[in-house]
Structure 1
Amino acid sequence: MDRRTVLAGTGAAVVASKVPLGPESLTSPSPLDKPGELALWYDAPGTEWESQALPIGNGILGASILGGVGTDEILINEKTLWTGGPGSAGYDFGNWRTPRPGAVARVQQAIDERVRVSPEEVAAELGQARNAYGSYQALGTLTLTTAAGAATAGSYRRELDLERAVARVQYATDGVRHTREYFVSHPDRVVVVRLGGGSVSFTAAFGVPEGRMATTTAADGRITVAGALDDNALRYEVQLRIVTTDGQRTDNADGSVTVSGASAATIVLAAGTDYADRYPDYRGTDPHGKVTAIVDRAALRAYPQLLETHVRDHGSLFGRVRLDLGRALPQVPTDVALAQYQPGDALEGLFFQYGRYLLIASSRTGTPLPANLQGIWNPYPSAPWSADYHVNINLQMNYWPAGPANLFETVAPLVEFIDALRRPGRVTAREMFGASGWVVHNETNPFGFTGVHDWPTAFWFPEAAAWLAWHLYDHYRFTLDESFLRERAFPVMREITRFWLDELHVDPRDSTLVVSPSYSPEHGDFSAGASMSQQIVRDLLTSTLEAANLLGDRQLGGEVRAALRRLDPGTRVGSWGQLQEWKGDWDDPADDHRHVSHLFGLHPGRQITPAGTPGLAAAAQTSLRARGDGGTGWSKAWKINFWARLLDGDHAHLMLSEQLRTSTLRNLWDTHPPFQIDGNFGATAGITEMLLQSHTGSVDVLPALPSAWPQGRVTGLRARGDLTVGITWSGGQARTIAITAGHPGAVTVRSTLFAAPHEVNGLRHPAHTDGSCTFTARAGGRYEISA
């Protein structure tokens, strides 16, 4: 059996082939050793988690691959392992611990009288210290120890294949090639590490973070780690089974397992907690039975079956979209490619697909909780910002790519999470505001935290629920799934709308309906009718009215229509041509704050468009230029989307370039700093906006194509109206457009292609002077348009 047969037959993870390797094979990798077309790869082990770990995941279990030689430490996360919440001393869901009758009304009166009130004064009246909020936790570390020495290892390669969602490490010592392969299977619910192909010897151990109590045992090749968090008594369990085909396997007294002289071995790891997203206790059943069943079922399957099932499942989502920007990735390690990056490089296409990969890995149907501030990966007992759910943009940004980048299945955990916030949010709405409906403020956790804390510039944001509702309605706009709208989206939207119909305040200066108190994240004073607040509520009411008309809710539709007539729209042009951030003309042209929240109506909203509201679009551009091109990683990502919506592809591309050059780590994770994953998702969404837009109701092809991408091809993007779109272009112009319709109806496509005679499914059409073409599609119909 030659070396290639050994590697192909095992798929390998600590593979020790006995076949000697000549000098050429040590320096020239076989086809199996080469990175895939879409891969991150490195020529040295990682030594630092934040910038060098390669992430894999299945929506609930995550693993971080550093690829050490003699000792390989694989950090494992389970998304529901959180401190805080019920069971933790003093947890109160963020609601006021003692009643404060009239507190909101007092702040509203102060704003009515003085117009502007400091954040500190409002926080003193409405905020409180946060108790037992908690933080996302690391589950523990799977350590594989071998006899190989790092000093003697050569031909090292560590890679993450995005198309297969498989990580691999390869190196050679003493003429022997070692390979490790890792993946996290969504269908089988396990982390898998493969060892095989020769005389394999290693010790596997699983350790929990220092200071956490756990019981660890080893029996019959199974390691079991069980415990409960000190903070809230949340129970957790990890089980891993080591399956060998031969050799010797020894269970050690310390809970580790040693394998010696095996030709093949597979490690399967499952984990769980007793968390359940159910108010008010957030507890389910002990995880032992479920974890045991999952790991035993996976252990019965042969490694090739586990791998094939995983790759097929991942590929069914990831493979839907292909993007070719006309340049090939350089054959250098990814960290070198990032250091050498120049605008227009193929690294931009890899970055786009990496965002899609990360969303698949951190959010899948059938898994609890949406992707958090770090997706699913975290090594810390106290993560930055708790790795929580900031809902003044960050959680929302995580899901911007889901629709246009054709990953609808990733939305399910977000939908369930929003739905689960309703019960605690009703309590907060009633106790804080005396209002019906439900509300959530600036940030939340897995335990229904819908109230407030006391950080003056980041504690008050009752519009958050309305922004979350945007995702539900936009999901409907993409899919046209009326049952989803009727059964899932509209009940949530209706309740949030009820809250705002109760809570909108009459501005004594002009009798318009405004949000008060209102605050523009995360600077300035409290006031009435800040632009972002008004735009979000207007978006909610507009979408609710559309849904009510479609579903026949005439009573709610009438109330919403009346409120919209009186609602301040939150879109004013100020004294220096800017879009005002507040209802008053207070903007400072020297303000370069990272938040540009008052452009919500431009993106992700649909209230400001160059064609429909050119004056407001020009004012938004003035505001963007004043804010500048700096900011944190997520801020730059949002600016990609803003400039794309303004149809300025070159400026959108400049922001993408700035993000890659100054806000991207060596493993291509976005950095705030520190690591914060929303920038990855925001950038992927921004690239889709450069290539395809559909928020106005038409399919706008290449609306913001930058000059750096003169030719290219994309397939599988999605447009609202249940449409799948492919585009080829050259010379900066579309040459072919392919549209597949999921529903029947009229489709309007806009493109420079229509300025000349063109063909639709082989039939010649004359030029369209307005740059658009409208046709009636049938369900399942494919329409090919060419120059």
Structure 2
Amino acid sequence: MKENAAERGSTRLWYDKPATAWPQGLPVGNGRIGAVVMAAPDREVWNLTESTYWSGRADEGVPAATGGKAALAAIRERLFAGDYAGGDRLAKQALQPPKPNFGTHLAMCDVVIEFAGSGEETDVGGPGGPGGFAPARSGEPGRTGMSGGSFAPFRRELDLATALLTATAGPPGSTLVRELFASHADDVLVSRIGSEAAGGVSFTLAIAGLTPEFAVSAEGDAALEFRGRATETVHSDGTCGVMCRGRIELETRGGSIRVQNGRLVVTGADEACIYLAVATDYRSESRAWERAARLQTALALSKGYERLRASHLADYEPLFRRVSIDLGFSRAADLPTDQRMQLLRKEGGSDPQLFALFLQYGRYLTLAGSREDSPLPLHLQGVWNDGEACRMGWSCDYHLDVNTEMNYYPTEAVHLGESQLPLMRYLEDLARAGRKTARDAYGSPGWVAHVFSNVWGFTEPGWDTSWGLNVTGGLWLAMQMIEHYRYGLDRAFLEKQAYPVLREAALFFLDYMTVHPKYGWLVTGPSNSPENHFYPGRPEEGHWQLSMGPTLDQVLVRELFTFCLEAAELLEGDVDLRERLVSAISILPPLQVGQKGQLQEWLEDFEEAQPEHRHLSHLFALYPAHQITPEETPELAAAARVTLENRMQQDELEDIEFTAALFGLFFARLRDGDRALKHISHLVGELCFDNLFSYSKAGIAGAETNIFVIDGNFGGTAVIAEMLLQSRPGGEIRLLPALPAAWPTGRVTGLRAKGNAEVDLAWEAGRLTTAMIRTHSPGTFTLCLGDRRIAFEAETGGEYRFDGALARQ
């Protein structure tokens, strides 16, 4: 079937220039193995990662936070009295334990391929490891080793619809064609290199390790094996981490293969295929992992490239094609992706299909990084790693105060709910680990986790109370269990996974929370509003972070208690717990409007010490929760808008990827499509590298360079989906709630709505023309379009079509 211009503009990243550094490389992944591929005419580098390749360990012998009830009461007494300095001092004594081997995710190695022109052999000796190449990272210019004329013209492309990455170099008749994919079906990274000219494929392949413990050895004439260990000295003591073993096998049609100086050398072949597999000892209970890569490449060789490619497409394409999107004609759709981004910066929203591309890229990255059987969920950089966060005070870990959550914000809506399952399993592990922290730190039952975590079960407060006592970090992440259930209505998931985890979280907060002596409200604390500061009085008296009952905590606890009450009633159990929840809900603090008309971030109407701050955690009530809506709580919606306006007016606004996404999400929920588009345009045009990976700017939160952080990709995907479709528990589906003027005509198919439904939409001249609702569970649904609302009863397997006035067709 011939591809139309709209599909071409929304499913392909392509470039006519080489990737000179990591931020230009294109990502592939199979849910466990990842690679950023830096392709140039005469060189290709695969920056290889694997999701479990972490430094650090579980430090069970290190003293934990040992606050307990008595210490907690003493801290709270100080905070209730307004002695924030005294409360912080006591909290540091009781709730700030050492953390010597937290660890971080690390990149594993670079696979370096050097191509020869006109059949001559290449020489890759020199600095940078066996391949003689030290690929540039985010802040470096890099080099590609281009040789010029014999390789021109050049094109590299990532087809999101097939997850195939291609690069072509050279004139007609002798063009070198390279194709690469990461197979989830066969768990291997696969590449085929062919030439239009007989015998035109000649290259050397070497492996350069990126961790101190790394070794490469030749295995026969056509294979390299490598082994390494994920060690570093910034986030751990340099002695502990996950071990890996990997293998690369080559096969050719024609020509020859030999080993020279630890490299594989291919000369005069018509075609060459490369098969790469890797395994680690993470959670391994035997030594079988040591043989896994060898067995995997042997199996790949036995199948051959064409069968592997066919299996890859059969596995991937049905998932990707669940959603299609056309946002209208783009005259720039046929331009290289980096040029489209440049035009967006100059001209604003004149390339609607670039936003369709961004949504589909987010879906692609989800499938590349988080499949149903992935061993771990997406971390700060998905499954990839530019190396920048690892060498600084940052860590490539699981931040629990918006970053990891945002990675999964769009997943259900864009019809990839299975990709949340690794996160669901991680939450079960987090809950088990968090029981000890709940007991030791607070003397409470249930479980708790704070501002970040790792793969070793870390749930304690962070390094400093100023930002590390976000007591609802684990609960925030656990909200994704609620989302997964509300979209799919899977009772087995609710009963066996979600409710047990959420019930224990509820038990913790019911025991841990206390009644405020002044207001009579049930509050958390000591806790942060991530990662912000406030003035309790005059600015000259100092700013603080710990308080009782910050708004985010109360919003999350309300979501938790309300859902657990509903789930217990549905599952017909926990009668005593239901009574406790009803009583607790009745005395939770309300959302409040401050003197400046803003939504209060803290229980008291404190002045922000950093009004330019990047976090907007208290607006969780607006998105992803529905505690604030323009229709039902107009005063609170107006206060949320004031909060956003105040933040945007700051000259020193901390302008980073997830903040831009949050602005877009909040304005979409406020039904302001043009403002939402402004912020998603800023994200795509100003806060993404050429490869469309989002980044956090240098100078913010201690960042020394622009650092790749993937949450902006997923947050931006969620914004675009929210602009077109919003849904609430109880079957409410809002159509085109924030359609901007710049997208007057378009269509989208396959978006998901809460209540286990799919939605297709089409619109012209800014008005809905048709809507199709496919329901997979019975129930009452309410369609909303502007001020119009209609309800209908649906059955399992039903299809319901409506016109632009919501009349049934």
TM-score, length-scaled by structure 2: 0.86
Aligned to 1:748: 782
Please say if 1:734 is aligned against 2:768: yes
**CA 772–556 in structure 1, closer or farther in 2 if over 3 Å, else same:** same
In structure 2, the partner of 1:77 is 49
| DSSP 3-state at the match of 1:66 | strand
Kept in 1, the 8 Å contact 2:176–2:193? The answer is no
1:593 aligns with 2:613: yes
Q: Within 1, Cα distance between the matches of 2:795 and 2:73?
A: 54
Contact residue 751 and residue 772 of structure 1 kept, 8 A: yes
Say if 2:696 is the partner of 1:689.
no
Q: Distance in 2 between matches of 1:469 and 1:711?
A: 37
The residue number in structure 2 matching 1:265 is: 272
What does the per-residue CA deviation read over 1:446-489, in whole Å, with 9 as the maximum and x for residues that have no partner? 11111123234321112122212211111111001111111111
3-state SS of paired residue (1:566): coil
1:389 aligns with one of 382, 398, 402: 398
Partner of 2:341: 338
Contact 2:452 2:462 survives alignment (8 Å)? no
1:655 deviates by 1.1
Does structure 2 retain, via aligned residues, the 8 Å contact 1:373–1:388?
Answer: yes
Aligned-pair CA distance for 1:696: 5.0
**1:496, 1:468 → 2: CA distance?**
11
Q: CA separation in 2, counterparts of 1:529 and 1:268?
A: 54
Cα deviation, 1:516-538, whole Å, max 9, x if unaligned, reads: 11211112231111111111111
Residue 604, structure 1, aligned to residue 621, structure 2: no
Q: For the residues of structure 1 that align with 2:624 and 2:158, how far apart are their CA atoms?
A: 31
2:95 & 2:581 partners in 1: Cα distance?
A: 28
CA distances 1:356-409 after superposition (whole Å, capped 9, x unpaired) = 111111111111111111111114282562211000110000001111011112
When structure 1 is superposed on structure 2, of 554-563 and 533-542 the one drifting more is 554-563
2:547 counterpart of 1:535: no
Partner of 1:56: 28
Any idea what SS the aligned residue of 2:36 has?
strand
Question: In 1, are the aligned partners of 2:193 and 2:273 still within 8 Å (CA)?
Answer: yes
Structure 1 residue aligned with 2:192: 194
- Quote the residue 1:703 is aligned against: 737
Q: Distance in 2 between matches of 1:403 and 1:94?
A: 39
Match among 8, 19, 23 for residue 46 of structure 1:
19
Deviating more after overlay: 378-387 vs 65-74: 378-387
CA 1:119/1:433 → structure 2, altered by over 3 Å: closer, same or farther? closer
User: What is the DSSP-based 3-state SS (H/G/I as helix, E as strand, rest coil) of the residue aligned with 1:458?
Assistant: helix
Aligned match of 1:300 in 283, 299, 302? 302
Tell whether 2:675 aligns with 1:651. yes
- Contact 2:207 2:216 survives alignment (8 Å): no
Q: Deviations over 1:599-646 (max 9, x none)?
A: 111111121111111111111111111111752111110111111111
Contact 2:108-2:211 within 8 A present in 1 as well: no
Match of 2:110 among 141, 144, 155: 141
Matched to 2:606, the amino acid is W
Q: Which residue of 2 aligns with 1:181?
A: 179
- Please state whether the residue corresponding to 1:578 is helix, strand or coil: coil
- 1:556 offset after TM fit, Å? 1.9
> Out of 581, 597, 609, which is 1:577 matched to?
597
CA distance, structure 1, for counterparts of residue 368 and residue 62 of structure 2: 31
Change (3 A) 1:332 1:536: same
Deviations 1:559-588 (A, max 9, x none): 11111112223x101112111111111145
Q: By how many angstroms is 1:100 displaced?
A: 6.9
Distance between the aligned counterparts of 2:441 and 2:668, measured in 1?
39
Given the alignment of the two structures, is residue 550 of structure 1 paired with residue 570 of structure 2, yes or no?
yes
- From 449, 452, 459, the equivalent of 1:450 is 459
In structure 2, the CA distance between the partners of 1:227 and 1:657, relative to structure 1 (3 Å rule), is closer
The counterpart of 2:244, out of the listed 233, 236, 243, is 236
Q: In the TM superposition, what is the alpha-carbon distance from 1:208 to its structure 2 partner?
A: 1.1
Pair 1:217-2:214 in alignment: no
SS at match of 2:356: helix
- Structure 2 Cα separation of the partners of residues 502 and 158 of structure 1: 57
Q: Report SS of the residue matched to 2:276.
A: strand
Aligned to 1:25: none
Distance (whole Å) between structure 2 residues aligned to residue 607 and residue 211 of structure 1:
50
Aligned residues of 2:438 and 2:445 also touching (Cα < 8 A)? yes
Identity of aligned residues (%): 37
For residue 243 of structure 1, report the CA deviation from its aligned partner.
Answer: 1.9
Out of 175-184 and 393-402, give the one that drifted further.
Answer: 175-184
Distance 2:207 2:249 in 1: 11
Task: Provide the aligned C-alpha RMSD in A.
Answer: 2.3
**2:268 is aligned with 1:246:** no
Tell me how far 1:94 sits from its aligned partner.
7.9
Structure 2 residue matching 1:664: 3-state secondary structure:
coil
Alpha-carbon separation, structure 2, partners of 1:164 and 1:42: 17
- Counterpart position of 2:140: none
SS in 1 for 2:613: coil
What is the rounded CA distance, in whole Å, between the counterparts of 1:80 and 1:651 in structure 2?
A: 39
Counterpart mapping for 1:295-694 below 5 A: 295-328=297-330, 329-341=332-344, 342-345=348-351, 346-380=353-387, 382=390, 385-524=394-533, 525-553=545-573, 554-569=575-590, 571-588=591-608, 591-628=611-648, 630=653, 631-673=655-697, 674-694=707-727
Aligned counterparts of 1:210 and 1:582: Cα–Cα separation in 2:
44
Q: Alignment partner of 2:695: what SS?
A: coil
- SS of 1:640's equivalent in the other structure is helix
Amino acid at match of 2:104: S
Shift in Å, 1:311: 2.0
Specify which of 145, 148, 152 is matched with residue 151 of structure 1. 148
* Separation in structure 2 between the aligned mates of residue 648 and residue 238 of structure 1, nearest angstrom: 50
State the shift of 1:38 in Å: 1.5
Distance 1:322 1:694, change over 3 A: same
Give how far 1:203 is off: 1.8
Give the stretch that moved more between structures: 120-129 or 448-457.
120-129
Cα contact 1:95–1:431 (8 A) shared by 2: no
CA distance in 2, matches of 1:581, 1:462: 15
Q: Could you say if the C-alpha distance between residues 331 and 443 of structure 1 is closer, same or farther in structure 2, counting changes exceeding 3 Å? A: same
Give, in whole Å, the separation in 1 of the partners of 2:179 and 2:365: 19
Q: Could you tell me whether the CA contact under 8 Å between 2:65 and 2:96 is conserved in 1?
A: no
- Cα drift, residue 210 of structure 1: 5.8
| Bigger shift: residues 67-76 or 315-324 | 67-76
The answer as to whether partners of 2:253 and 2:270 remain within 8 angstroms in 1 is yes
Alignment pair present for 1:718 and 2:742: no
Q: 1:14 maps to what in 2?
A: none
More deviation, 503-512/305-314: 305-314
Q: How much does 1:175 deviate?
A: 5.8
* SS of residue paired to 2:432: helix
Q: Measure, in 2, the Cα distance between the counterparts of 1:71 and 1:735.
A: 50
The structural deviation recorded for 1:662 is 2.0
- Give the Cα–Cα distance (whole angstroms) in 2 for the partners of residues 288 and 628 of structure 1: 53
Aligned 8 A contact 1:270 1:294 in 2? yes
What does the per-residue CA deviation read over 1:686-716, in whole Å, with 9 as the maximum and x for residues that have no partner? 1111111112530100111111111110000
The answer (yes or no) to whether the contact 1:723–1:739 under 8 Å persists in 2 is yes
Give the secondary-structure state (helix, strand or coil) at the position aligned to 1:196: strand
| Distance change (3 Å), C-alpha of 1:302 and 1:135 | same
* TM-score (norm. length: structure 1): 0.89
Separation of aligned partners in 2, 1:368 and 1:283: 15
Q: Which runs of 5+ in 2 are unaligned?
A: 118-145, 232-238, 534-544, 698-706, 805-809
Residues 39 and 209 from structure 1, CA distance in 2 versus in 1: closer, same or farther, beyond 3 angstroms?
same
Quote how far apart the aligned CAs of 1:748 are. 1.1
**2:160 corresponding residue in structure 1:** 162
CA contact (8 A) 1:36 1:161 kept: no
Residue pair 1:136, 1:383 contacting (<8 A) in 2 also: no
